[in-house]
Amino acid sequence: MKYRRLGKTDWNVSAVSMGCWGIGGQWGEVTERAATEAIRAAREGGVNLFDTSDSYGMGRSEELVGEVLGSRPDDVYIATKVGNWGRRLDDHFPYNSVYSIYESCHASLHRLKTDVIDLYQCHINSPDNPEIFLEAFETLKQQGKIRHYGVSTDHADVVKAFNVGGDCSLCQVNYSIFVREPEKELLPYCRENDIGVLVRSPLAMGVLTGKFDTGTTFDDQVRRGWNKGDAHKNFVKRVELSRKLGALANADRTLGDIALQFILANPAVTCPIPGMKNPDQARTNIRAADGELAEEDLRMIDKICPPETTT
Active-site residue (options: 56, 77, 149, 189): 56
With vertex at residue 107, the alpha carbon angle to CA 201 and CA 81, rounded to the nearest 5 degrees, is 20
pLDDT digits (tens, 9 = 90+) for 14-51: 999 999 999 988 878 889 999 999 999 999 999 999 99
Q: What is the CATH number of domain 3-206+255-301?
A: 3.20.20.100
Tell me what the mean pLDDT of segment 180-184 comes to: 96
Question: Pairing between strand 170-174 and 146-152?
Answer: parallel
Q: Hey, where are the domains in the chain?
A: 3-206+255-301
Closest by CA to 51, choosing from 182, 131, 150, 161, is 150
Displacement of CA 299 from its chain's centroid (Å): 25
pTM of the model: 0.94
Tell me what the mean pLDDT of segment 303-310 comes to: 87
pLDDT digits (tens, 9 = 90+) for 202-218: 999 999 999 999 999 99
Whether 56 is a known active-site residue: answer yes
Q: Say what the pLDDT of residue 122 is.
A: 97
Q: Say what the pLDDT of residue 90 is.
A: 66
79, containing H or E segment: strand 77-82
pLDDT digits (tens, 9 = 90+) for 87-96: 666 667 778 8
